[in-house]
């Protein structure tokens, strides 16, 4: 049975259910055990009498026998509920209490009318006490919900699974003064006043949906709205609801309209409701939630203004708004049969939002000739994959994009399910082509609209629409781990041919030692000595192209290109055509050549990353090793190549992330790696100081701010140059950064200057800048999150500086920080644990002890957030032996704590048991 089972003990009707799942024997849910429920729900009428401490919820469900299942009781899940009454067809019943909820036996002989029954349940819940932010909770005195994955069972008893799809009608009652705005899914059908200062609103959603897509909002809000017409000419109302910052909601609304237009044009998918709403909330565990017609967003992905949001914030809002809107079809109209199929909606929708963002950037960039805008977006996607998902694939939590089992489903909202899942969809798109992929999408909706389905159903539609056999491709859904692709080429002058041999293997992962060959599309080009791509023609073919897609579907395959009259340089895995690690022998000269000449922007970037990685890892093992002159020459040539967009140059010359480099370092030594990064950053800054100073001056964007890829690229490269200049110790660096710090009116420039000042050894200058920032933006919670994160991620550029942990502890006492707010936790603690490995993994073990303190403190109130922080130590066995005893001790400390949540327990158990 899909869903996490939690034990409870409720003595009788009217007594609260106790949440006593903590430290119980773990229960593992298996995909192979899925069975449809004996009873499903066709219609739900919900009535809420909203009170901060005692909200009454009345649920009236029309339940029906499930023709796909055998006989059995009505199964209802519930958690942290006070049950007041249960009626079946108007008669009181005494349900049986079972793990995680209730069972009600229904006599089929009494319900001959197709097996329908009316079940009414009244419960009482405490939104103020709901610090887990799952179910119905309070934020700034307003009521909000979060029901994915299993939050609805914290509102009322229900068959809380995604394969139970019902139509909903919702009546909300609240005090008008406290909550003048009452919202739920679907369309508003009635509203009015009630006695004693209360009022009500009734909403009806005409489309069946699973309970995880239910939402309500009751709060003091204002709306920025616009009426637009769909492609078919129907009028729809789009609204963005915020607490008070309506002047910062415009970009989110514009992004929503762009996403709506894109989905109509690209896939013919039109908004199906009369109204679509986005609501910003300050307290939210995740980024956003696609509740049908009523998307609830973390405020950081809604609010933007030039003086408070960076270019990255604007890009993030556009992407997340699009992602949640696209879920209206890929996730809502067609949803998951069970939570093992999570990538069905998330991987597909991440791919769609990535395509949308790339199209938006490319369209805007055409005006300014920024030809590589699409590639820059692709590079950003791969940076995320390599920094977050590759380590996951190499650790105890490794799982396929469709897991076979879980203990707590909240732990599987992962980079594997989302980002790697998107890469799997991208490979289907590559293999089928744009026309074949669109045909597959059309068939998918034709077959499955209004149903809860599986990943197999999606791939079957793609195969049927294109006539392509995707049977072997399904191994991507079943196998964990990052495949390695080894490439070796040989040019034969006599036959004017080039032979490329590709092989693949996937390392073993927990529970999977044997790996089968995958279907891997490998995009390949060959570069001639003059820097131009050669036309490629496989043996026995006439067609030529400068980039070919080779399909590697065996352990090893050889491909022979004819008509190759010069010794070429191979460019393999162009565009990152598959989520693999490429192993290919390339000396420094070849990497420098590809940095200068590779026609594929992604591989040109990757050549720079590989050259940087090689240089850094050598420095990490030998701190006396010189930085190769050839590296600095190649770096400078790319920096000054004005034929390349500034945005691309900024991406190519940013060093690889520490998390990715630690995965490439065996064993991982955070302190040695940090020392190497500081050494290289300083040497680059000193060697190219004149160039950096000139670029920092020339690229500074003046005039009114606009969110545009050309301007954003100039700002990115100017900020990068300023950071290298300050880090290198150039006397002009700090004064220039301070001048920008005071003069820039946009947050991108402001943060760029502050980030540069964080690299100086002149501590008074840095401290003064941080104090000025704190004073200037003290009333803006989202901006102060940036201030917290910047300090949590700080490097120590001098041995005289105190450990960053001391500053983190101080910041926890700052009024800007609240342990109950997920954004604050992620900005300070999450960044310190995840993005500052050298400081976190200090040899004295203080960072690890601090981690245990905070995980346990958070777990008492918000297990989801605690579990996210707990994962910071899951790959501990990859670190140098000197670090492992301290980490193991703190993992055991958490494991043995009293009342540990299932969320955290699963993470810790897997980290220790591997």
Give the Cα-Cα-Cα angle 130, 134, 136 (nearest 5 degrees): 65
What letter would DSSP give residue 812?
Answer: T
Taking every pair of Cα atoms in the chain, the longest distance, rounded to a whole number of angstroms, is: 95
Instruction: Name the burial class of residue 134, with classes exposed (0-12), middle (13-18) and buried (19+) by CB atoms within 10 angstroms of its CB.
Output: buried
Q: How far apart are CA 348 and CA 887, in angstroms?
A: 37
Out of 150, 315, 324, 839, the active site residue is 324
CB under 8 Å to 15, separation ≥6 — which residues?
82, 83
Roughly what angle, to the nearest 10 degrees, separates helices 733-743 and 747-757? Answer: 150
Q: Is 298 helix (H, G, I), strand (E, B) or coil?
A: strand
Size of the chain, expressed as the number of residues it contains: 914
CB under 8 Å to 96, separation ≥6 — which residues?
73, 102, 103, 104, 105
Q: How far apart are CA 786 and CA 47, in angstroms?
A: 40
Roughly what angle, to the nearest 10 degrees, separates helices 902-913 and 863-870? Answer: 20
Half-sphere exposure of residue 300: CA atoms within 13 angstroms, side-chain side: 21
The DSSP result for 428-482, as a single string, is HHHHHHHHHHHHHHHHHHHHHTTSEE-HHHHHHHHHHHHT---TGGGHHHH--SP
Q: Report the relative pairing of strands 74-77 and 537-538 from DSSP bridges.
A: unpaired
Q: Is 255 helix (H, G, I), strand (E, B) or coil?
A: helix
Backbone angles phi, psi at 852, to 5 degrees: -60, -40
Instruction: Name the burial class of residue 577, with classes exposed (0-12), middle (13-18) and buried (19+) by CB atoms within 10 angstroms of its CB.
Output: buried
The DSSP result for 50-78, as a single string, is --SS-EEEEEEEEEEE-TTS-S-PEEEE-
User: Do 838 and 879 meet the contact criterion of CB atoms below 8 Å apart?
Assistant: no
Q: Which residue has the tokens 């990068």?
A: 720
CB under 8 Å to 617, separation ≥6 — which residues?
661, 664, 665, 676
Half-sphere exposure of residue 92: CA atoms within 13 angstroms, side-chain side: 5
Q: How far apart are CA 489 and CA 500, in angstroms?
A: 4
Q: How far apart are CA 729 and CA 470, in angstroms?
A: 56
The reply to whether 324 belongs to the active site is yes
Q: Which residue has the tokens 């939690």?
A: 6
Strand partners, 144: 137, 217
Q: Is 779 helix (H, G, I), strand (E, B) or coil?
A: coil
Proportion of the chain in helix, strand, coil states, percent, rounded to 5: 45, 20, 35
| Of 330, 333, 355, residue with least CA distance to 343 | 330
CB under 8 Å to 153, separation ≥6 — which residues?
77, 78, 79, 81, 100, 101, 135, 160
The DSSP result for 542-571, as a single string, is ---BSSEEEEE-SSEEEEEEE---S--EEE
Where does 699-780 have alpha helices with state H? Answer: 709-727, 733-743, 747-757, 763-776
Q: Peptide bond before 667: cis, by omega within 30 degrees of 0?
A: yes
Residue 701's alpha-carbon distances to 370, 651, 693, in angstroms, are 16, 18, 15
Tokens representing residue 693 in the block: 């100073």
Q: How far apart are CA 164 and CA 214, in angstroms?
A: 12
Give catalytic residue positions.
324
């Amino acid at each position: 049975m899909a869903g996490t089972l939690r034990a409870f003990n409720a003595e009788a009707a009217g007594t609260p259910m106790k949440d006593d799942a903590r430290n119980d024997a773990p229960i593992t849910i298996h995909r192979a055990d899925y069975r449809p429920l004996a009873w499903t729900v066709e219609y739900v009428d919900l009535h809420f009498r909203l009170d901060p401490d005692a909200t009454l919820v009345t649920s009236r469900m029309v339940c029906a026998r499930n023709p796909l299942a055998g006989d059995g009781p009505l199964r209802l899940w519930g958690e942290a509920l006070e049950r007041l009454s249960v009626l079946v067809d108007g008669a009181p019943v005494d349900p049986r209490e079972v793990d995680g909820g209730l069972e009600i036996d229904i006599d089929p002989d009494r319900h001959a009318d197709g097996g329908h029954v009316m079940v009414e349940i009244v419960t009482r819940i405490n939104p103020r006490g709901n610090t887990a932010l799952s179910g119905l909770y309070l934020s700034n005195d307003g009521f909000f919900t979060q029901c994915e994955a299993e939050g609805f069972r914290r509102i009322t008893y229900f068959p809380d699974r995604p394969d139970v799809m019902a139509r909903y009608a919702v009546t909300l009652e609240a005090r008008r003064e406290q909550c003048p705005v009452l919202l739920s899914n679907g369309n508003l059908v009635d509203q009015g006043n009630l006695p004693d200062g209360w009022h009500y609103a009734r909403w009806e959603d005409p489309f069946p949906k699973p309970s995880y897509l239910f939402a309500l909002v009751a709060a003091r809000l204002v709306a920025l709205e616009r009426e637009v017409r769909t492609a078919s000419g129907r009028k729809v109302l789009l609204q963005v609801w915020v607490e008070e910052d309506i002047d910062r909601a415009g970009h989110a609304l514009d992004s929503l309209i762009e996403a709506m237009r894109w989905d109509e044009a690209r896939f013919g998918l039109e908004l199906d409701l009369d109204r679509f709403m986005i609501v910003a909330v300050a307290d939210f565990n995740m980024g956003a939630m696609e509740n049908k017609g009523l998307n609830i967003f973390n405020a950081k992905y809604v609010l933007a203004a030039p003086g408070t949001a960076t270019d990255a914030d604007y890009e993030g809002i556009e992407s997340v708004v699009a992602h949640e809107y696209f879920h209206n079809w890929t996730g809502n109209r067609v949803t998951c049969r069970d939570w093992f199929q999570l990538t069905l909606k998330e991987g597909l929708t991440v791919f769609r939002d990535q395509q949308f963002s790339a199209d938006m950037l490319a369209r805007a960039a055409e005006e300014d000739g920024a030809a590589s805008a699409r590639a820059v977006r692709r590079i950003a996607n791969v940076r995320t994959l390599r920094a977050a998902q590759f380590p996951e694939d190499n650790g105890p939590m490794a799982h396929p994009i469709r897991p076979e089992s879980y203990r707590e489903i909240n732990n599987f909202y992962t980079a594997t399910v989302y980002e790697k899942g998107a890469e799997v969809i991208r490979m289907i798109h590559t293999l089928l082509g744009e026309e074949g992929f669109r045909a597959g999408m059309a068939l998918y909706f034709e077959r499955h609209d209004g149903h809860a389905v599986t990943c197999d159903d999606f791939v079957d539609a793609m195969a049927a629409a294109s006539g392509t056999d995707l049977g072997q491709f399904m191994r991507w859904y079943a196998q964990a781990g990052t495949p390695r692709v080894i490439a070796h080429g040989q040019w034969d002058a006599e036959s004017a041919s080039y032979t490329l041999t590709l092989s693949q293997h996937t390392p073993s992962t927990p529970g999977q030692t044997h790996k089968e060959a995958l279907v891997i599309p490998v995009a390949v080009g060959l570069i001639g000595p003059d820097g131009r791509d050669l036309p490629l023609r496989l043996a026995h073919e006439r067609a030529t192209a400068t980039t070919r897609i080779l399909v590697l579907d065996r352990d090893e395959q050889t491909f022979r290109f004819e008509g190759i009259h010069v010794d070429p340089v191979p460019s393999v895995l162009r565009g990152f055509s598959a989520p693999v690690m490429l192993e290919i022998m390339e000396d420094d000269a070849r990497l420098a050549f590809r940095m200068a000449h590779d026609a594929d922007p992604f591989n040109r970037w990757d050549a720079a990353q590989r050259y940087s990685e090689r240089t850094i890892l050598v420095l990490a093992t030998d701190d006396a090793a010189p930085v190769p002159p050839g590296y600095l020459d190649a770096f400078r040539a790319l920096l000054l190549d004005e034929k390349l967009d500034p945005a691309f140059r900024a991406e190519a010359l940013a060093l690889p992330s520490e998390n990715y480099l630690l995965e490439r370092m065996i064993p991982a030594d955070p302190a040695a790696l940090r020392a190497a990064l500081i050494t290289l950053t300083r040497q680059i800054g000193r060697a190219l100081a004149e160039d950096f100073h000139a670029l920092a001056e020339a690229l500074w964007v003046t005039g009114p701010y606009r969110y545009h890829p050309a301007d954003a690229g100039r700002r990115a490269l100017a900020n990068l140059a300023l950071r290298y200049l300050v880090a290198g110790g150039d006397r002009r660096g700090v004064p220039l950064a301070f001048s920008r710090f005071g003069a820039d009116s946009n947050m991108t420039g402001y943060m760029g200057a502050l980030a540069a000042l964080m690299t100086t050894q002149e501590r008074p200058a840095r401290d003064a800048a941080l104090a000025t920032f704190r004073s200037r933006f003290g009333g803006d919670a989202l901006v102060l999150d940036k201030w917290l994160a910047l300090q949590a991620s700080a490097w120590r550029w001098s041995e005289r500086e105190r450990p960053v942990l001391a500053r983190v502890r101080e910041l926890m006492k700052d009024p800007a920080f609240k342990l109950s707010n997920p954004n604050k936790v992620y900005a300070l603690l999450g960044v310190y644990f995840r993005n500052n490995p050298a400081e976190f993994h200090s040899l004295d073990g203080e960072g690890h002890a601090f981690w245990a303190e905070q995980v346990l403190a958070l777990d008492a109130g918000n297990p989801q957030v605690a579990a996210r922080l707990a994962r910071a130590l899951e790959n501990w066995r990859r670190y140098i032996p000197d670090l492992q005893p301290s980490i193991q001790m703190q993992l055991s400390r958490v494991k043995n704590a009293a009342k540990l949540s299932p969320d955290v327990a699963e993470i810790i158990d897997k980290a220790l048991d591997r």
